[in-house]
Amino acid sequence: MKAAVLHEIGGIPRYEDFPDPVAGDDEVVIDVKAVAVETVDKRIAAGTHYASGGYTARLPAIPGFDGVGTLPDGTLVGFGNPRLPYGALAERTVVPVGASVPIVEGLDPAVATVLGTAITGMSIRTAGGFMPGETVLVQGATGVAGRLAVQVARLLGAGRIVATGRDDDQLREVRSLGADVVINTAVADEALAQAYVDAKGDGYDVVLDYLWGRPTEILLRSLVPRTFAFGKPTRLIQIGESAGGTLTVAAESLRTSGVEICGAAKGLDAGTMQEAYGQVVDWTRAGRLTFDVLRVPLSDIETAWQCTDLRGRRLVVVP
């Protein structure tokens, strides 16, 4: 079969022949239909992700740890946990029996690979206790997950949505997806702090943070009250770190601002995850939640892997 084959840590997967997988006991071979290539996949292949060792211990190997494909009986499923060295970026892979779930009828396999990304936007409710009418700030709204989060916030009934990014053209696109106010973070620190103040109205209720680093550090400073008045409670949900893995938090940023910080996994269990997934599927099937994907054939994996100018689209490889 053909596959994207990684020969060295930090290398670029190459389109070439690879032995076909053979199912062992309690395993099943999957015919792969679509695989979303995300930052985490590239970091694992580069050896910079904390889970890299588990996926690159044996080379050559095929990257990708989940995707959408069909079982031998033709059932379309989402799958995960391929047996190494068989990752998802191949014509076929092999997974444990039970490591797949049926995909709702009528969903495009390429779109189905991105549903999980939309669920991060649902964390305003599962982790942040969002209520309709509240103000939501999406930090990093020009990326794939951020754009979906803006749509999710609007669908859940946000009263006001503020979105940040580094590109004015893309921020205009985000506004068309439902953002009421946009902020360009590629400005001087003081200008950015003032932009957060100017845009917050009577306060941010929930912040979905895909950035961390400098923008969030400045945001937290901007939320410190300038008087002895009590700050409005703000629930900040940490999801990504595209602007940096660390930040410095001044004591007053928490002591007097009313800010509460938690991770996106707060409130998640099998029940809440299933509920969030079901809601995303319903919106998708109804055409209310839209996904911008860039489909590329597996044969173009070397070029696609190095693509950095996706402009809010999710790269989806179709074998």
For residue 94, what is the domain's CATH number? 3.90.180.10
Query: pLDDT per residue over 195-207, tens digit each?
Result: 999 999 999 999 9
Share of the chain above pLDDT 90, in %: 78
Q: What DSSP designation does 231 have?
A: P
Q: What band does 38 get if pLDDT is binned at 50, 70 and 90?
A: confident
Position 186 in a domain: yes
Residue 170's CATH number: 3.40.50.720
Any bridge partners for residue 296, and if so which?
317
Any bridge partners for residue 297, and if so which?
318
pLDDT at 254: 85
Closest CA to 233 of 216, 257, 262: 257
* pLDDT average, residue stretch 247-271: 89
Position 281 in a domain: no
Position 282 in a domain: no
Is residue 268's pLDDT more than 80?
A: yes
pLDDT at 311: 83
pTM recorded for the entire structure:
0.88
Whether residue 298 sits in one domain with residue 232? no
* pLDDT average, residue stretch 264-276: 91
Q: What band does 53 get if pLDDT is binned at 50, 70 and 90?
A: confident
Whether residue 87 sits in one domain with residue 41? yes
Please say which residue of 263, 281, 300 terminates a domain. Answer: 263
Q: What band does 210 get if pLDDT is binned at 50, 70 and 90?
A: very high
Query: pLDDT per residue over 80-99, tens digit each?
Result: 999 999 999 999 999 999 99
Give Cα separations from 90 to 64, 71, 317 (angstroms): 9, 15, 9
Whether residue 255 sits in one domain with residue 126? yes
Q: What band does 257 get if pLDDT is binned at 50, 70 and 90?
A: confident
Is residue 106's pLDDT more than 90?
A: no
- Determine which helix (DSSP H) or strand (DSSP E) holds 64, and give its type and residue range: none
Give residue 44's domain range: 2-114+291-318
Query: pLDDT per residue over 159-180, tens digit each?
Result: 999 999 999 999 999 999 999 9
* pLDDT average, residue stretch 182-208: 96
Is residue 262's pLDDT more than 80?
A: yes
* Number of domains composing the chain: 2
Whether residue 162 sits in one domain with residue 77? no
Q: What band does 231 get if pLDDT is binned at 50, 70 and 90?
A: low
| 70, 114 Cβ separation under 8 angstroms | no
**Hey, how many other C-beta atoms are within 10 angstroms of the C-beta on 193?**
18
**Residue appearing with tokens 């649902």:** 122
Position 143 in a domain: yes
Whether residue 106 sits in one domain with residue 123? no
β-strand pairing of 206-209 with 135-139: parallel
Q: What DSSP designation does 6 have?
A: B
Position 146 in a domain: yes
Least confident of 35-44, 141-150, 295-304: 35-44
Whether residue 171 sits in one domain with residue 86? no
3-state SS, residue 248: coil
